[in-house]
Copies of this chain bind each other. A is one copy, B any other.
Amino acid sequence: MLLTSSCDCLRVSQVTREGKFMQSDVPRQLVYGTMVFVRQTIVADASCALSRAVCIATRYSAVRRQFGSQNGLETQVIDYKTQQSRLFPLMASAYAFRFVGEWLTWLYKDVTQRLQANDFSTLPEAHACTAGLKSLTTSATADGIEECRKLCGGHGYLCSSGLPELFAVYVPACTYEGDNFVLLLQVARFLMKTVSQLGSGKKPVGTVGYMGRIEHLMQCRCDVQRAEDWLKPSAILEAFEARAARMSVARAENLSKFANSEEGFAELSADLVEAAVAHCQLIIVSKFIEKVQQDIPGKGVKHQLEVLCNVYALFLLHKHQGEFLATSCITPKQASLANDQLRTLYSQVRPNAISLVDAFNYTDHYLGSILGRYDGNVYPKLYEAAWKDPLNDSVVPDGYHEYIRPILKQQLRTAKL
């Protein structure tokens, strides 16, 4: 379904008593400034919601034990690789969205200052970039909260886990302030325009700056030979840049085969969305890398963030390996090495997993989750909460003797006939 933020534009427009729509005199660009602000807030909110869910799921994964040992205590589920491979990328995403959100705050200030100086030059790029980041972060967060619920097993479905409400309250973010698919189409439109202007001498700026190195990116070869080579920020960045650039260029070439470019855009829109996603993932990865290259206070904190940054990038690379391979940005062997390195990184996250979610500094009251309690005292508190359920006021629930039992008894009698 297609819903856009066109409402923002409508606010300054008018409809006459005769029903005629009047475009306003206010420059359209100024309205985009507001959109940039709102979307920046949404990205920050995404990080907040995802980190809450991740905090709950991580703490409970350390409390919960199941299988894996013949003698003594069972294994903490956080030690299972399948659990880690689903949970740790979400943890890394929560950090990634936080850093890209901080950067968006800077971007909004920059845009505002330029607007005041009548400089509209960076607005299209800022608009496309915030549209794409709103889309990517809210979709990933909604899916991520639901995944955290599943990572808590059956207990994740309890209201007292806090996760069902978190999901239900969050998920509309995928639709409001611009449906996430429509926003990606706007990003794609901007990317196609950028590609079409590459020969014109107009230099791409900001988050499409990498397009300025298009000749290099179209023919570069990834030089990863061992799994550890994937830890180099330059290797990650070039692979993501090459993939995004090549996907955009390939889409632009396919578009050029259509006589009517609007028809082509409509026909190829699903492919264009993929190019937009690749571009937006590059933005988040590059902002994460920029962040961890800065000074970061606290002993060892920087290294932990580097590990999470690599988890985020290599998880995306593995998930979208088809696009990296189809565009020949990496070889199947290099894709396999990235996956090996990812496994190693999960082992490095594991000892600090609890600290990394404690660092979000959420109170138990704010988390609102028995599974995510700071003290880990989950089961006695779950039992207490169960007592508070009205269903447990009596041993036999109301209505059983009056309504349900007669039906069951009758059936039994029928069966005996």
Which A positions have Cβ atoms within 8 angstroms of B?
Answer: 1-3, 60-61, 64, 66-67, 77, 80-86, 146, 150-157, 164, 168, 171-172, 174-176, 179-181, 185, 266-271, 273, 320-328, 332, 335-336, 339, 343
Q: Is the pair B267, A154 in contact by a Cβ cutoff of 8 Å?
A: no
Least Cβ distance of A155 to chain B in Å?
7
Q: A64: which B residues are within 8 A, CB to CB?
A: 1
Q: Is the pair A151, B1 in contact by a Cβ cutoff of 8 Å?
A: yes
Q: Which of B81, B146, B153, B273 is A266 in contact with, Cβ under 8 Å? A: B81
Q: Is the pair A80, B2 in contact by a Cβ cutoff of 8 Å?
A: yes
Besides the known contacts A81-B266, A82-B273, A326-B332, 15 further A-B residue pairs in the complex with CB atoms under 8 A apart: A1-B61, A2-B66, A3-B66, A82-B181, A82-B270, A84-B270, A85-B270, A146-B146, A150-B175, A157-B175, A268-B343, A320-B322, A322-B324, A326-B335, A328-B332
Contact (A326, B325) CB under 8 Å given A61-B1, A150-B175: yes
* A4: nearest chain-B partner, CB-CB: B67
Q: A174: which B residues are within 8 A, CB to CB?
A: 150
Least Cβ distance of A21 to chain B in Å?
12
* A271: nearest chain-B partner, CB-CB: B339
Q: Is the pair A3, B154 in contact by a Cβ cutoff of 8 Å?
A: yes
Q: A171: which B residues are within 8 A, CB to CB?
A: 146, 157
Q: A328: which B residues are within 8 A, CB to CB?
A: 332
Contact (A153, B81) CB under 8 Å given A321-B326, A325-B326, A326-B336: no
Q: A1: which B residues are within 8 A, CB to CB?
A: 60-61, 64, 66, 77, 83, 150-156
